[in-house]
Amino acid sequence: MVDRYDVAIAGAGPAGAQCARDLATRDYDVVVLETESEDEFPRQSNKSTAGTFPSMMSSFGIPDDVVMSFTDDVVLESPNEYYESYQPGAVLEFAEFKRFLVADGRENGAEYRFDARVSRPVLDDDGVIEGVRYNGDEEVYADVVIDATGPAAPLASALDVVDLERENQAIGIEYEMEGVEMNHPEYADLRRAMMLRLDHNIAPGGYSWIFATGEDTAKVGLCYIQNDRHREFAEAGKTVDGYLDEWVNRDPRFADAEQIGEKVHRGSAHIQRPGRMHTDRFLAIGDTVPSIDPLWGEGIHKAMKSARAAAATVDRCLTDSERRLDAESLAVYERLWHRDVAPRMKARLMLTRLLYLAPNERYDRFMRDLRQADENTLEEANRGKKASMAKLLHLSDLPLLAKFARERFDI
């Protein structure tokens, strides 16, 4: 007997599980294939800092009981300055969040198969995907197949839908810590804040963070892109673990802090503009695309939005009287992605590269500029609005811009 569904999804992360929730709510037969065992889920994939915003919580019906702490502010730090902005947020217990999405999808009728490692697509005689092979020789068939496996992308890669470039890969590590002095006199008050620090001495070519999870507890980590900028600032042979340990040992806020148990979260993502995201009867969502915010690394809201765009696209096609699922019909997904998930992606990637090209002393000036700018300048620049981006540039940045142009166009 052939297992056949309306939709088969590879990966039970936020994107895959949310897509299953949306489709199951619309009464489609959905199966989700997840590599991890159900008893340990999500031990291996519990990798996110899980900082997000109330708009995500309300838009996707996420309960408060998966939240470790609600925050009021976003703080940006440089080596000698900082900038505070009121922006409510939420730091999730990522494992509980993922388990909620799975449980809620099941309640609405989605089927989950754990211990199911997807290896490759099953193709029909015309080379069009019609199913998924997993665990060696097991197969499921579906009208639409969705790859939500993240950077692994076994299906999207086999179909030549995505091209994740190694030089654009960011790696990160995070500890959960207690005994952190969250209101140290030399720094901003972080007791109800998510802090991001730009400092090449700590995270060369990237940034570090402290996300409050309680009065003296926090998620503490860093990430960087393994590119020429990282190699310029980095110490030879030093690993991402070494950089985090050095920061924890040096920053006075961690003088009396200890790591909670052995909680170490590791992850990677690609910071690049996506190319194709679909083909006949197939969509790629979440970090498979990739969808992560290029500037600050926020991925949950982007993943959930991409899942919803995919579910809406599938629903539109399957409710059509002809049930057309060719690439042209599924192209609405890419239009929704560029409109709703990551608008102005090209401009935002340009700002990302400029930001991480800058030296430490420019970061200090950046913080001072932000304190003098209108409150909405950073928000609009973060959205890719060039007029707001220009407000944060100076004539002294011309060499930096020229360096960007040389690297961008290989002059």
pLDDT, one tens digit per residue, over 186-208 is 999 999 999 999 999 999 888 89
Domain of 400 in residue numbering reads as 345-409
Handedness of CA 99, 133, 118, 270 (dihedral sign): negative
- In the prediction, which pLDDT does 108 show? 97
Reference 14, options 58, 47, 38; nearest CA is 47
Has residue 362 got a pLDDT over 90? no
| Residue 77 or 170, more confident | 77
- Looking at the DSSP assignment, which residues form a beta bridge with residue 172? 223, 267
Report the domain count for the chain: 3
Same domain, 106 and 199: no
- In the prediction, which pLDDT does 270 show? 60
Same domain, 114 and 22: yes
Assigned domain for 371 exists: yes
pLDDT band for position 117 (50/70/90)?
very high
pLDDT band for position 393 (50/70/90)?
low
| Residue 164 or 277, more confident | 277
Same domain, 260 and 309: no
Rounded-to-integer distance, Cα 271 and Cα 206, Å: 12
Mean pLDDT of the 62-86 span: 94
Has residue 56 got a pLDDT over 70? yes
Residue-wise pLDDT tens digits, 172-181 = 899 999 999 9
Cβ(130)–Cβ(104) below 8 Å: no
- Grouping H, G, I as helix, E, B as strand and the rest as coil, residue 346 is helix
Same domain, 225 and 117: no
Mean pLDDT of the 22-37 span: 97
Same domain, 87 and 215: yes
pLDDT band for position 399 (50/70/90)?
low
Residues 6+ apart with CB under 8 A from 319: none
Same domain, 174 and 121: no
Same domain, 121 and 36: yes
Percent over 70 (pLDDT), the chain: 81
Residue-wise pLDDT tens digits, 204-243 = 888 899 999 999 999 999 988 766 666 777 788 788 999 9
pLDDT band for position 396 (50/70/90)?
low
Reference 207, options 293, 130, 127; nearest CA is 293
What does the block give as tokens for 264?
Answer: 């170490």
- The residue out of 283, 318, 341 marking a domain boundary is 341
- In the prediction, which pLDDT does 410 show? 43
pLDDT band for position 409 (50/70/90)?
very low
Same domain, 154 and 173: no
Rounded-to-integer distance, Cα 48 and Cα 35, Å: 18
Same domain, 402 and 323: no
- In the prediction, which pLDDT does 371 show? 86
- The residue out of 341, 363, 392 marking a domain boundary is 341
pLDDT band for position 102 (50/70/90)?
very high
Mean pLDDT of the 275-284 span: 92
Rounded-to-integer distance, Cα 76 and Cα 344, Å: 23
- Grouping H, G, I as helix, E, B as strand and the rest as coil, residue 221 is strand
Mean pLDDT of the 4-33 span: 97
Cβ(65)–Cβ(97) below 8 Å: no
| Residue 71 or 362, more confident | 71
Rounded-to-integer distance, Cα 95 and Cα 10, Å: 18
- In the prediction, which pLDDT does 139 show? 96
User: Rounded to a whole number, what is the largest CA-CA distance in the chain?
Assistant: 69
| Residue for token pair 């697509």 | 121
